[in-house]
Amino acid sequence: MKPALILTSLLIVLTSLSCKHSTEPEPQPGRRDYTWTVDELKPGNESLYLMRIWGSSPSDVWAVGISSWTATSLWHYNGLNWRCDSIPRNINPTGLFGINGNEIWLGNGNSTIWRYDGSKWLQYGEYKINGFDAVHINCFDGTSRDNIYGVGFADAYNSNNYKAVIIHFNGVAWSFINIPDTKVSFESAQIDPKSSALIISGMIYDPSGFVPKAYCWDGKNLIDLPLNSTGDTFVTRLGDEIFVSAGSKVYKYSNKRLSLWKDNTNTSIGGRLWCGRSRNDFFIRDVNGISHYNGTDYSLLYKTNLYVGLGTIFEKDVFFIAYDYTTGKDYVIHGKLK
């Protein structure tokens, strides 16, 4: 064989190997053969509105929320039933995240952060900002016990003055991150596994209506990620990818930019992308209940009139908090693969 032909053949082989190496494998389609059960949480004569759900396993799940009596804010599932310890605490949690079953963090609406050590809940600290009456921590995410972020907002009562906040835990103490004053409430956040950037959703409470927002905190700069959408926003990590749902649209995050990934306008799909295992196996809000995407299409897997909030997912199980606005009752919907 001539040298030129040998070189050409070698280049073809190398190019082929390079292409195969750089192409990420397509995630497998998610299964849909779930069985569903519903548990009612019974706080007695008190009102309860669940806000967050998280678990270390299907037999260790926490659901927390705002209650009229602070002894009914924290609920735990042990694989058999849901229980509340009925211990009064000055807490109405709005954020929930765990490193494992023995280290779980709660965000609050009264400038405090709480921690569960495997046996009890204790207030870890109080975190205030001068000029504001309270700090609300709405969401956490972390990669290890010494790298956890919390996001929310600082609020000045009896005024329209508020600003976004990011707080960080280094394994010893929580401290606020110095970010530009931004009049927005941070609502959810996820760390991008590829860049370690913090992707944040938020809402501006404008008198003319709510304005959804999204941001990237890269460790130095707070970068606005434009959204061409209205409605509720939420950040979700699916595998090693980050998505932002905003109203009926879903955006994919990459390299400090959002690109439209799914436009569900004029369909029954709309609202938060709750949770999932990959971009081909996730659950999303449907006006008729809980829908699932398997890489090809959406399917309504659980029909309900309940308002479904957030979810947490495991290898074969998925849990959703839900609320009945007619009766004021709270539920947890549990799906389990057959």
Cβ-contact 192, 210 below 8 angstroms: no
Max Cα separation, the chain? 89
Query: Of 265, 292, 285, 273, whose CA–CA distance to 190 is shortest?
Result: 273
Domain boundaries, the chain: 48-337
* Superfamily classification of domain 48-337: YVTN repeat-like/Quinoprotein amine dehydrogenase (2.130.10.10)
Cβ-contact 294, 29 below 8 angstroms: yes
d(C-alpha 69, C-alpha 81), whole Å: 21
Q: What pLDDT, on the 0 to 100 scale, is given for residue 210?
A: 85
Q: What is the pLDDT of residues 211-264, one digit of tens each?
A: 999 999 999 999 999 998 888 899 999 999 999 999 999 999 999 999 999 999
- Write the CB contacts of 271 (distance below 8 Å, at least 6 apart in sequence): 231, 232, 245, 247, 248, 284, 285
Q: What is the pLDDT along the chain (338 residues), one digit of tens a residue?
A: 444 433 334 333 333 333 334 456 899 999 999 999 999 999 998 899 999 999 999 999 999 999 988 789 999 999 999 999 889 888 989 999 999 999 999 999 999 999 999 999 999 999 999 999 999 999 999 999 999 999 999 999 988 899 999 999 999 999 999 999 999 999 999 999 999 999 999 999 877 778 999 999 999 999 999 998 888 899 999 999 999 999 999 999 999 999 999 999 999 998 899 999 999 999 999 999 999 999 999 999 999 999 999 999 999 999 999 999 999 999 999 999 99
Cβ-contact 109, 155 below 8 angstroms: no
Q: What pLDDT, on the 0 to 100 scale, is given for residue 23?
A: 59
Cβ-contact 219, 273 below 8 angstroms: no
Cβ-contact 243, 260 below 8 angstroms: no
Characterize the bridge pairing of strands 162-169 and 198-206.
unpaired
